[in-house]
Amino acid sequence: MFEAFVDGLMLVFTWPAIGFLVFGVLIGIWLGAVPGLGGVIGLVLLLPFTFDMEPVSAIALLLGMYSVTTTSDTIASVLLGIPGTAASQATILDGHPLAKKGHAARAFGAAFTVSAFGGVFGALILAVSLPLVLPMILAFSKAELFMLGVLGLTMVGSLTGQSVMKGLTVAFLGLLMSTVGYGETMPVPRFNFGLDYLLDGLPLIPVVLGLFAIPELIELAVKNTSISSVPREEAVGGNMYEGVKDACREWWLAVRCAIIGTYVGILPGLGGAIVDWVAYGHAVQSSKDKSQFGEGDIRGVIAPEAANNAIKGGALVPTVAFGIPGSLGAAILLGALLIQGIQPGPDMLTTKLDITFSLVWTIVIANIIAAGMLMLWCRQVAKLAFIPGHLLIPGVVCFVLMGAWLGQTSPGDWVVVMIMGLVGYTMKRGGWPRPPLVLALILGGIMEQTFQITMRVHEGPAWLWERPIVVGIALLCVLTVFLAGRGVIKRKRDKDETVTGEGNEYNPIISLPLSLVLFAFFTHAYFDSQTWPEMAQQFPFTIAVPAVFFAFYALVRDSVDLKKEIGIQGGIAVVWREASSRIYFSEMSAFFGYMIGVLILTLLFGQKIAMPIYMAVYLIRWGKYSPKIALGYAAGGYAVLVLFYDRVMHLFWHPSWLDSWGPEMLPDWIPHWLFF
């Protein structure tokens, strides 16, 4: 095995493979840092260029790009509070609060250090444990995979926010949202409300960008401040070297999370979605002092970043050894392997073990190169946290909307962003954690499929107590909820502790309407699902039953809290005035007005014209910048739209009213793609 380990390393360092690897890393850093893009988009773009390449070079290019997106996605997670990929959701809980304290460089230093460590350590752990891989994979049937998804949702639902019940309620909401559209096993439309757009389900990227990006952008706009609430000169202890030292001090946590990432990654289908939450939950539950988690605890950055980079090595095993891709990205990589004549199968763990190790080494080296490059650049990137927010907002909105457009290339994608942005802002201000919703939306389709197969195979729920691994995971779920609930009670007893993390705001007059809407939605889902055929209704009905009770409990708690608040403040009008001032109701409405304006301009003139107009108008009217600065900014945005999204990505643009007659007005020497 050691000989194959070394041979795999030599394959990676042959020329021109190493050159293509570095090139792929550079592309991956860009794609991971831009919200809405990510590794899957990169694979789709690069795959056609590899058809005539040598196998080692082709895989080095694709895998080098794909593997580093979970390193560079830290940039958006820390600076903007937007999970760049599914694997960086947990990073935002402590990474973004660190940026608000002026410690973005510290968060980057710690994240990039453990990212490189996680990739290397994960590969080494995988190398010595390959004989254990086959029994481990075979031990996990559909029942265990379903319960692993339940464990992930339990961890994220109970470890975010001040109310475990609210977190779990949001998780149920995400699961129900995952059932929108045609069923997994039957072509029965579910919860589409008569809209053809929803027949294929809710697109993930617009939902994520709306939930996380829009609320943070609203806060930047209405507060007229930078990402950091602390001036740069006062951000003591927030430099990159402090983050590197943090990673070294917490080396044992990084080791444990790298091990978690490696072995969770081996399990096909669920690993990438839940590994950062499993690692984050482990960091919280294994810490004596939990008070700073969610408010800028560096351990909350180290744990998920070590795990989500270690996962890449483990995730290769089911793909190359059994031809079982665990995600869309792995499926594209599997196709690339087949195109290059590399046939997945048991031989990849025996006679062709050197090729398997070359893939693992590609991931390791790519992570080291990416971490080194980002270390060099992170000081400059961290300065974005101190730039006036109004200069960031138009550019970020452009990337958010264009990233969302990749969902179904429909104006409905932008409508989803706006609706989910309003929902996300309400959740943030009302004390409802957002991460459980996204994780549940990601896992929902997989969980429904595994749940239905398990129920058919075992002819009922007997698998819940007959399979030892299922029972063990169920006990972990109960223990997680118990420990999280005990921690919440302990924190509430500490009167002097101020809690400001995700899902911890106290605003009952904002939370109550959301509780009522959720209760009504779950009740509607309960009755509506009973009209469908059995296979179509099984999973939604199973979710809706407990969800109704969870939402009802939240509704009662919010009603009690609001009544108490009215008694203290002296009337509901006083409570509403105070709440509306805290959530910047009028400014928030104006922000959504600008976004609606972008949608209207797009229908009239197309994105290439609408987005620059929005940038210029926003900077002049709201940002109070000079027309010279605003027009220069808009010109830069126009260049990105045309040169990157149009010329490189060949994006499908919405056919506008101007498209019906505008091209005929242009002289022949002006390319139509500049405007249409």
SS3 477: helix
Q: Measure CA of the first residue to CA of the last residue in the chain; give whole Å.
A: 57
Q: What is the pLDDT of residues 361-373, one digit of tens each?
A: 888 888 888 888 8
Task: Give residue 417's pLDDT.
Answer: 92
Q: What is the pLDDT of residues 271-327, one digit of tens each?
A: 566 777 788 888 887 887 777 777 888 888 898 888 887 777 777 766 776 666 656
- Is 218 in contact with 588 (CB distance < 8 Å)? yes
- Is 338 in contact with 58 (CB distance < 8 Å)? no
- Is 78 in contact with 96 (CB distance < 8 Å)? yes
Residues with Cβ within 8 Å of 233's Cβ and at least 6 positions away in sequence, in order, are none
- Write out the two tokens for 394: 């138009």
Among candidates 607, 618, 624, 613, which has minimal Cα distance to 676? 607
| Neighbour-count burial of 528, counting CB atoms closer than 10 A to its CB (0-12 exposed, 13-18 middle, 19+ buried) | middle
Mean pLDDT of 95-121: 84
Task: Give residue 552's pLDDT.
Answer: 93
Task: Give residue 419's pLDDT.
Answer: 94
User: Whose structure tokens read 């063990």?
Assistant: 472
**Distance from C-alpha of 86 to C-alpha of 437, rounded to nearest angstrom:** 12
Mean pLDDT of 179-206: 83
Q: Give, to the nearest 10 degrees, the angle between helix 353-382 and helix 240-249.
A: 140
pLDDT band, residue 521 (cuts 50/70/90)? very high
Using the predicted structure, report yes or no on whether residue 474 has a pLDDT greater than 80: yes
Number of Cβ within a 10 Å radius of residue 530:
11
Among candidates 490, 342, 354, 461, which has minimal Cα distance to 6? 354
- Rounded to 5 degrees, φ, ψ at 647 are -75, -35
Ranking 151-155, 189-193, 449-453 by mean pLDDT, the lowest is: 151-155
- Rounded to 5 degrees, φ, ψ at 642 are -80, -50
- Half-sphere exposure (CA, 13 Å, Cβ side) for 290? 21
- Half-sphere exposure (CA, 13 Å, Cβ side) for 633? 24
- Rounded to 5 degrees, φ, ψ at 201 are 95, 170
- Four-residue CA torsion sign, 210, 215, 220, 222: positive
**Distance from C-alpha of 562 to C-alpha of 506, rounded to nearest angstrom:** 10
- Write out the two tokens for 200: 């294929």
- Residue 249 CA, chain-centre distance (Å), reads 27
Buried b (16+ CB within 10 A) or exposed e, 299-332: bbbbbbbbbbbbbbbbbbbbbbbbebbbbebbeb
- Write out the two tokens for 180: 């929108």
**Distance from C-alpha of 332 to C-alpha of 191, rounded to nearest angstrom:** 30
Which has more pLDDT, 366 or 379?
366
User: Whose structure tokens read 């709440």?
Assistant: 579
**Distance from C-alpha of 161 to C-alpha of 390, rounded to nearest angstrom:** 29
- Write out the two tokens for 87: 């694997």
Using the predicted structure, report yes or no on whether residue 63 has a pLDDT greater than 50: yes
**Distance from C-alpha of 87 to C-alpha of 71, rounded to nearest angstrom:** 10
- Is 62 in contact with 50 (CB distance < 8 Å)? yes
SS3 190: strand
Mean pLDDT of 349-355: 73
- Is 474 in contact with 198 (CB distance < 8 Å)? no
> What DSSP assignment string belongs to 428-463?
HHHT--SHHHHHHHHHHHHHHHHHHHHHHHHTSTTH
Q: What angle do CA 117, 119, 122 make, to 5 degrees?
A: 100
- Write out the two tokens for 565: 């608040």
Find the helix or strand (DSSP H, E) in which 182 lies: strand 181-182
| Neighbour-count burial of 355, counting CB atoms closer than 10 A to its CB (0-12 exposed, 13-18 middle, 19+ buried) | buried
> What pTM does this model have?
0.81
Q: What is the pLDDT of residues 525-553, one digit of tens each?
A: 999 888 888 888 888 888 899 999 999 99
Using the predicted structure, report yes or no on whether residue 500 has a pLDDT greater than 50: no
Cis peptide before 513 (omega within 30 of 0): no
Among candidates 535, 541, 649, which has minimal Cα distance to 183? 535
User: Whose structure tokens read 């254990």?
Assistant: 132
- Rounded to 5 degrees, φ, ψ at 82 are -115, 125
Using the predicted structure, report yes or no on whether residue 602 has a pLDDT greater than 90: yes
**Distance from C-alpha of 360 to C-alpha of 346, rounded to nearest angstrom:** 17
Mean pLDDT of 488-502: 55
Task: Give residue 499's pLDDT.
Answer: 46
Whole-angstrom CA distances from 65 to 47, 50, 61, 89, 454 are 11, 13, 6, 20, 36
Which has more pLDDT, 591 or 576?
591
Among candidates 104, 28, 101, which has minimal Cα distance to 67? 28
**Distance from C-alpha of 214 to C-alpha of 397, rounded to nearest angstrom:** 8
SS3 189: strand
Whole-angstrom CA distances from 591 to 214, 219, 265, 584 are 9, 10, 40, 11
Among candidates 280, 284, 304, 282, which has minimal Cα distance to 292? 284
Q: What is the pLDDT of residues 177-188, one digit of tens each?
A: 988 888 767 778
pLDDT band, residue 616 (cuts 50/70/90)? very high
Among candidates 633, 665, 589, 558, which has minimal Cα distance to 221? 589
DSSP annotation of 346 reads: G
SS3 388: strand
**Distance from C-alpha of 632 to C-alpha of 50, rounded to nearest angstrom:** 38
